[in-house]
Amino acid sequence: MPAGELPDVFDGVEAAVPPALADHLRGIGLIDHHVHGAFVAPVDRAAFEASINEGSTDPVPAFMTQFDSPLGLSIRRWCAPLLGLEPLAPTDEYWARRAELSSKELARTMLPAAGVSRWIVDTGFKGDLICTPERLTELSGVASSEILRLERLTEDLLDDGTAPEDFPAAFRAALAKAVDDPNVLGTKTIAAYRIGFDVDWSRPTDAEVVEHARTLGAGTHPVRVADPVLIAFGVHEAAAHGLPIQVHVGFGDRDMDLHRSDPMLLLPLLRTMTPVPVLLLHCYPFQRQAGYLAQAFDHVNFDVGLAINYLGVRSTGLVAEALETAPFAKQLFSSDAFGPPELHVLGAVLWRRAMGLVLGEWITAGDCGVADAIHLVDLIGVRNAERVYGL
């Protein structure tokens, strides 16, 4: 294991963050309410660089390195010391050191440094390289819970031979099982990727669902659900079962029509659905719209995870924008880390730092008390997730 350790998250900005707030932010055990597994197999540099580009689905081109990005700078700044290097160690030095370590050593070094008290893991996109929630717990020493991805459930049922006419009942049975499973805290939809939000969100009848399941099941397998009827069915069923629903919004890869994931396009759904907690995830560059929806609907909550990592040093401005119109009881923390355990630790480090800088400025100007700021940190970092997921 490397001898390094994480620098203080307020390194270089100590004067801007009142000590009591800084201490609280350093110590709070965050609930990372939307995260994926860490790499459990070695990756070469090309694969690593591709894994720190969210938008692209291609290898990083030869004319550049993905380290030349805000996220790359943040990895070098915060993770190099975890590997025993100087902050901002040069890219090649970082890579050389990282390449000496096994994926297990890397995970054991990075994951605990996040200071997370619970991972809530989206297991819907597995890949061969990333670990299960159980393994994430082993590697980090921290409990994990799970999120059930609705589209994957549909796909698994249809691929496993569920007859179309049995599909609605089978889907409900799976949700009922999820409700009873203490490990499963909620569901997730990737409608943004599959259909966009500008679709008919009305609740379909079982007959319609059967018909669409038949069409899909009759095609090639494994099936890929990109059918508004089946996706709306999943969402309304999850709500009917009282399960929280995470919704991918905004920032993602280029297969998605980003502009068709503007969360305002969810208004027809949000206005009419059974009001279980909805968690708008990521939201960049629609964070202002997401905050507005969190004010407008009691059941809507949001985070700016994923984007915090990708914006690196610029995440401070993003965190500030996320504190504009949403009540403080309606925002959550997440990293949306996937793959490199650097992302698991950075998500927490950058959020702690950004919150300290933003709230520290408020406090210094007299616009917020230290106790108010600590309360706000507790809500967003822990308590809102406890409420939403019934922890």
Angle between helix 341-364 and helix 103-110 axes, rounded to 10 deg: 20
User: Which two structure tokens, joined as six digits, stand for 372?
Assistant: 């108010």
Task: Identify which range of 139-147, 168-176, 205-213, 307-315 contacts a second copy by CB under 8 A.
Answer: 307-315
**Beta-carbon count within 10 A of 335 CB:** 28
Q: Which is nearer to a second copy, 90 or 127 (CB)?
A: 90
Distance (Å, whole) CA 293 – CA 101: 44
Residues 82-141 that bind a second copy (CB under 8 A): 87-88
Q: Which is nearer to a second copy, 112 or 312 (CB)?
A: 312
Residues 229-288 that bind a second copy (CB under 8 A): 251, 253-254, 257-259, 262, 264-265, 267, 270-271, 284-285, 288
Nearest to 280 by CA among 256, 247, 240, 234: 247
Using CB under 8 A, pick the residue from 26, 42, 50, 73 that binds a second copy.
73
Mask for 150-189, x = binds a second copy (CB under 8 A): ----------------------------------------
Contacts of 158 (CB under 8 A, 6+ apart): 167, 213, 216, 217, 221, 223
- Give CA torsion, residues 316, 322, 323, 328, to 10 deg: -120
Using CB under 8 A, pick the residue from 4, 26, 53, 132 that binds a second copy.
53
Q: Which is nearer to a second copy, 122 or 262 (CB)?
A: 262
Using CB under 8 A, pick the residue from 66, 140, 144, 162 that binds a second copy.
66
Task: Identify which range of 7-15, 180-188, 223-231, 241-249 contacts a second copy by CB under 8 A.
Answer: 7-15
Nearest to 354 by CA among 292, 303, 390: 303
Q: Which is nearer to a second copy, 44 or 86 (CB)?
A: 86
Residues 322-381 that bind a second copy (CB under 8 A): 323-330, 362, 364-369, 372, 375-376, 379
Q: For residue 124, which phi and psi values (nearest 5 degrees)?
A: -75, -25
Residue 122 Cβ vs a second copy, minimum distance, rounded to whole Å: 21
Residue 83 C-alpha from the chain's centroid: 25
Question: Which long-range contacts (C-beta less than 8 Å, at least 24 apart) are formed by 300-304?
Answer: 300/270, 300/330, 301/277, 301/330, 301/331, 301/332, 301/384, 301/388, 302/249, 302/263, 302/326, 302/330, 302/331, 302/332, 303/33, 303/34, 303/279, 303/331, 303/332, 303/333, 303/334
Residue 329 Cβ vs a second copy, minimum distance, rounded to whole Å: 4
Using CB under 8 A, pick the residue from 233, 310, 333, 351 that binds a second copy.
310
Binding flag, residue 20, a second copy (CB under 8 A): no
Q: Which is nearer to a second copy, 92 or 181 (CB)?
A: 92
Residue 64 Cβ vs a second copy, minimum distance, rounded to whole Å: 4
Q: Which is nearer to a second copy, 156 or 257 (CB)?
A: 257
Residue 310 Cβ vs a second copy, minimum distance, rounded to whole Å: 5
Distance (Å, whole) CA 91 – CA 80: 9
- Locate all alpha helices (DSSP H) within the chain, ordered by sequence: 19-27, 45-51, 70-74, 91-99, 103-110, 133-140, 150-159, 167-180, 191-194, 206-217, 228-240, 267-272, 287-296, 307-311, 315-321, 341-364, 370-378, 384-389
Residue 213 Cβ vs a second copy, minimum distance, rounded to whole Å: 29
Binding flag, residue 68, a second copy (CB under 8 A): yes
Distance (Å, whole) CA 373 – CA 368: 7
Residue 79 Cβ vs a second copy, minimum distance, rounded to whole Å: 13
Contacts of 328 (CB under 8 A, 6+ apart): 375, 376, 379, 380
Q: Which is nearer to a second copy, 138 or 378 (CB)?
A: 378
Q: Residues touching a second copy: how many (CB under 8 A)? A: 73
Residue 80 Cβ vs a second copy, minimum distance, rounded to whole Å: 11
Distance (Å, whole) CA 343 – CA 66: 14
Residue 8 Cβ vs a second copy, minimum distance, rounded to whole Å: 10
Residue 254 Cβ vs a second copy, minimum distance, rounded to whole Å: 4
Binding flag, residue 302, a second copy (CB under 8 A): no
